[in-house]
Structure 1
Amino acid sequence: MWWIYALLSALFAALTAIFAKVGIKGVDTNVATAIRTVVILIVAWGIVLFKGSQGSIGTLTRNNWIFIVLSGLATGLSWIFYFKALQLGEVSQVAPVDKLSVALAIVLSIVFLGEPLTWKNAVGALLIISGTLVLIF
């Protein structure tokens, strides 16, 4: 079931690039990112309230809070740089380079989370890196 959510994530990430490229034309990318963030905030809290999940906030540990906040900071910085890259470059180049994050996530998961490096992960990461280099140069 996880792969269905992952495919939906990929679909909406692709749509994000297309919609963003059109939407940021002539706009300060930081303003565009702020607007996007408000929309996401409303949607995310709407889902939490609809599902009645808000009660689980009290169960979060200090560690949960620290790493969720760090994740949020990383996401925000990613979006700021992504919108600026989209404004300056072509979607067909920016989006695939952004997906270099997949290869970086594989490496970071090995280093920081102790996840095993399988041959499939290694080959996949190398192919992503190779494809990114082709698009850059």
Structure 2
Amino acid sequence: MALSWQFWALLAAAFAALTAIFGKIGVAGLQSDYATFLRTIVILVMTAAIVTFGGHWRSPAEVPGRALVFLILSGLATGASWLCYFRALQIGQASQVAPVDKLSVVLVALFGGAFLGERLSFQNWTGVALIAAGTILVAWR
């Protein structure tokens, strides 16, 4: 089970839920961009420790150019997402912000089809539509 994508995806969901709760508490009384900066430092230190202890360090010059470009773009998108997420948490309720943030699931399905050639079945698209509808039902009061 620990090697399956489902295991890691469920852990990611659990940690994302904790991110919303801890972030909402942590951003109180701080400017949201600064709170995001502090959070990013913690993530950098934690990830560096994991890479170090796992023996996975390598020279960035060894990373293929295409991979490096897309990792940089992914990092920029992540940073923008985090800045927006913490700002939303600062001014909204965590129980509303987190579901709207999870509209990323819907967007990934759309972008995956458009840019990666991924194909979803009717059943899969029904699930995507239900996620979108659920987001609306949970987030807007």
Q: TM-score, normalised by structure 2?
A: 0.93
**For residues 52 and 90 of structure 1, what CA distance do their matches in structure 2 show?**
40
Deviation at 1:50, TM superposition (A): 0.5
Match of 2:77 in 1: 74
Please give the alpha-carbon distance, in whole angstroms, between the structure 1 residues aligned to 2:140 and 2:124.
22
Find out whether 1:136 has 2:116 as its counterpart: no
Query: What is the CA–CA distance in structure 2 between the aligned matches of 1:79 and 1:93, rounded to whole Å?
Result: 16
Question: Which stretch shows the higher mean deviation, 112-121 or 66-75?
Answer: 112-121
How much does 1:26 deviate? 1.0
Unaligned runs of 5+ residues in structure 2 are none
- Pair 1:64-2:67 in alignment: yes
Partner SS, residue 26 of structure 1: coil
Q: 2:6 aligns with which of 3, 6, 11?
A: 3
Deviation at residue 55 of structure 1 after TM alignment: 2.6
Q: Partner residue of 2:122?
A: 119
CA contact (8 A) 1:21 1:91 kept: yes
User: Which has the larger share of helix?
Assistant: 1
**Equivalent position of 2:35 in the other structure:** 32
> CA RMSD, aligned part only?
1.2
4+ aligned runs moved over 4 Å, structure 1: none
Contact 1:106 1:121 in 2 (8 A): no
Paired position in structure 2 for 1:17: 20
Residue 64 of structure 1 aligns with an amino acid whose one-letter code is A
Give the aligned partner of residue 96 of structure 1: 99
CA deviation after TM superposition for structure 1 residue 118, in Å: 1.3
Equivalents in 1 of 2:46, 2:124: separation in Å? 33
Q: Report sequence identity in percent.
A: 49
Pairs aligned (count)? 137
Supply the AA of the counterpart residue of 1:70: L
Contact 1:25 1:87 in 2 (8 A): yes
Structure 1 position 56, deviation (Å)? 6.6
Equivalence for 1:85: 88
